[in-house]
Structure 1
Amino acid sequence: MTAFFNGIQALFVDFLFVPLDFLRSLELRNWFGANILNWVFMLICAVAIVYWIMQLREHKANNDEFQDTTAHSFLK
């Protein structure tokens, strides 16, 4: 059973975390380069938010939304 967990450790330490170790060492030389992954995720989120707001405006312009405050019986 120990060999199984040692194998998992070797997989992560020797293979899967190598790009993150590179980014960690890059931080001392170039902060923006080391945080490129964060910048990519922020860009994806910004695009998704803009798309979402555009869809909300489109639905509001077409009066597709049903905004009834008495949607639940206890609000009557």
Structure 2
Amino acid sequence: MKAFFEAIQYLFVDILFAPLDFIRSLELSSWFAANTINWIFMIICVAAMVYWIKQLKLHKDNNEDNQDTTAHSFFK
């Protein structure tokens, strides 16, 4: 049973967390390189937000959205 838990420890510590150890050591030399993943996620979120707002404007310009409070039966 002890070997099973040691195998789990080896999997997580030595294999799955290895990229995080690399990023942690990279931060000492270049902050921007270490935070590249964060920058990529921020760019994706901004692109998704711009797309979403553009779609909302498109539906609003076509009068496809119903902003009446009685649009749903539970608002009556």
TM-score by length of 1: 0.86
Structure 2 gap ranges (5+) = none
- Structure 2 counterpart of 1:27: 27
User: How far apart, CA to CA, are the structure 2 residues paired with 1:18 and 1:36?
Assistant: 17
User: How far apart, CA to CA, are the structure 1 residues paired with 2:10 and 2:40?
Assistant: 28
TM-score by length of 2: 0.86
- Structure 2 counterpart of 1:59: 59
Percent identity over the alignment? Answer: 63
Structure 1 runs of 4+ off > 6 angstroms?
none
User: How far apart, CA to CA, are the structure 1 residues paired with 2:37 and 2:73?
Assistant: 44
Q: What's the offset of the Cα at 1:6?
A: 2.1
- Structure 2 counterpart of 1:2: 2
Structure 1 gap ranges (5+) = none
